[in-house]
Amino acid sequence: LDDFSVITAPYESAGQPVGVLGVIGPMRMAYEKVVPMVDVTARLLSAALKS
């Protein structure tokens, strides 16, 4: 895994962390696109778990 990186964002239910969403990709991935996507997806997952 030396040539890969991991981007993670926690998600929660009832205000408590319940897991971590992550993406494994190449070291030279488009971080400026991937980081916001992982963040938004984790927020949407948290909102869905709240419902």
Domain region containing 10:
4-50
Encoding tokens for residue 19?
A: 């897991």
Rg over alpha carbons for the chain, rounded to the nearest Å, is: 12
DSSP-based three-state secondary structure for 44: helix
pLDDT tens track for 4-48: 999 999 999 988 999 999 999 999 999 999 999 999 999 999 999
- CA torsion sign for 24, 3, 32, 8 is positive
Q: How many domains does the chain have?
A: 1
Record the pTM: 0.86
CB 4 within 8 Å of CB 35: no
